[in-house]
Chain A
Amino acid sequence: MEKIEITLTINDKLREVSVAPNDTLLEVLREKFDLTGSKESCGEGVCGSCTIQMDGKPVRSCLTLALEADGCRIKTVEGLANGDQLSDLQESFINHGAVQCGFCTPGMLISADALLQNNPKPDEKTVRKTLAGNICRCTGYAKIVDAVCHTGNPDNQCPDCKTGQ
């Protein structure tokens, strides 16, 4: 089983890496690039904690071979903040108390970010549908959904959040 050279643009940086055919994209991101934000929870497509963006589309990195991503643009949770400056979406998660244990958070953020890129002002139904592939065992989802909705619609009244306080 030979190693194969591939090129990935990870969070806007061009990277080269040699991978084995059976390396998943998740393993390469975590083990070769130390991008440990994306998590492996189930490893079989069910939970969504490994969600990353491939050419702007949210996909499961545990079920994507690294070789299949050759030449693609990859965005992980580490690519959301600008230096120390968190993105509006990340701030909103904090302000809404949408993070508890945090294990689902990278996947949630990446799925939500992909939605907001295409649809900056999504309604609640759209947010719920888009995040339906990401499982959270802590929050009960309400705060996560609020956080995403409020990022897109910052002028909305939102009794639970600390934005602007």
Chain B
Amino acid sequence: MRLPRFDYFGPDTLDAALELLATHKEEAKILAGGTDLLVRMKKGLLNPKVLISLKALNGLSYIKKDDEGIKIGARTPLADIISSDLIQIQATALSQACEKIGAVTLQHYRGTIGGNILQDNRCHHYNQSKFHRSGRQACHKEGGKICYARDESDRCNSTCQSDGATALMALGAKIILASAGHERTVDLENFYTTDGIMPFAMEPHELLKEIFIPFQGGQSAYHRLAFRSAIDYPIVCAGVLLTPSLTQKDEIEGARIVVGAMGRSPLFLAGESAGLKGKKFTDFAAFQTAADAAMNSAATFAVHNVGGTLEYRRAMVSPMVFRALKEAAQAADR
């Protein structure tokens, strides 16, 4: 499969990259590892005139920590995150999520954490060859007026299947977006739109620079379900964070339950999370209640568009959340 034509720039400073983005805006795309972008370009799903490569920007590849938390450069390869002891210990869910992404020889060296968060939402009616798509009317995401995944839908319901974003949202991560002369910090939780055509609340001239994971104490865990353990995207996944009370070490003070691959973005379930406050780390019955409630909430978002029947994906939310909660609780109890 040939790639369409484009102009290539490989700026060697961040400022130069931001200038290029400011000049070309919608016509440009950032190229990190390319493992999502180039596939979409080959299939004719997008056709940017300009690619701006991050290859020379080694300054965007780092894992650091300070008193407040962990900072990860957007171009950091997944392999570096997987092999980082700091992340394995302090942000376990992220380490577990990155390890499960695709396959070692596919993304771990080329794929980046920034590209993982910003990979486009997916749908099996849309992520198809040109030939396949030519046989039917265009859907919303392709500029048409219908959705094949949900009848009568006025918008696109494509699914966010990012393992990294689900784990990072559970960890309460923030992201730093840079544009020429400007920088802003957003909670990952508030970074998503309600339309799968452009799932991210981000301007075309913005670049994802850094991911920040605040230290909150406690333990996190990530579980996912995919058809094959390698290569395939998740069809359901869950990331959780449990923090202990300062006075009662065996009691949960704060919880964050996030369900992924069920909606247009990872879903932070505030109610189910709050329900765990004050519960003991050994209270598995409370975890089961929270997991079942998470299943009911997440189920309303999902549409049948990433493989597996909808019934199966819905039913599997509860075990994924329960397993993640149990694992995080057991790690905290140790």
A contact set with B: CB distance below 8 Å: 1, 4, 20-24, 27, 40, 43-46, 48, 51, 54, 57-60, 62-65, 67-68, 107, 111, 114, 129-130, 132-135
Contacts of B4 in A (CB 8 A): 22
Q: Pick from B2, B5, B34: contact of A68, CB below 8 A.
A: B34
Interface residues on B, range: 20 to 34
A43: contacting residue among B5, B42, B105, CB under 8 A? B42
> Considering only CB atoms, which chain B residue lies closest to A133 in the complex?
B103
B1 contacts the other chain (Cβ, under 8 Å)?
A: yes
A15 to B206, CA, bound (A): 37
A21 touches B109 (CB 8 A): no
Tell whether, in the assembled complex, residue B3 and residue A67 are in contact, meaning their CB atoms are under 8 Å apart: no
Beta-carbon contact of A64 and B105 below 8 Å: no
| 7 nearest CB pairs, A to B | A133-B103, A132-B230, A21-B8, A43-B1, A133-B105, A22-B3, A57-B109
**Residues A24 and B3 in contact in the complex (CB < 8 Å), given A46-B231, A59-B110, A64-B34:** yes
Known: A57-B109, A67-B53. A133 touches B104 (CB 8 A): yes
- Set of chain B residues within 8 Å of A1, measured between Cβ atoms: 5-7
Check if A63 sits within 8 Å of B38, measured CB to CB.
yes
Instruction: Decide if A65 touches B34 in the complex (CB within 8 Å).
Output: yes
- Residues on the A chain within 8 Å of B51, using CB: 21
Minimum C-beta distance from A2 to chain B (A): 8
Question: Does A44 contact B42, Cβ atoms closer than 8 Å?
Answer: yes
State how many angstroms separate the Cβ of B110 from the closest Cβ of chain A: 5
**Please, which residues of chain A bring their CB within 8 A of the CB of B34?**
63-65, 68
B103 touches A132 (CB 8 A): yes
B31: chain A residues within 8 A (beta carbon): 65, 68
Residues on the A chain within 8 Å of B271, using CB: none
| A to B CB contacts below 8 Å, 28 in the list | A1-B6, A1-B7, A21-B8, A22-B6, A24-B3, A46-B231, A48-B103, A57-B109, A58-B104, A58-B105, A59-B105, A59-B109, A60-B35, A60-B110, A62-B1, A65-B8, A65-B34, A65-B38, A67-B10, A68-B53, A132-B103, A132-B104, A132-B230, A133-B103, A133-B104, A133-B105, A133-B106, A133-B231
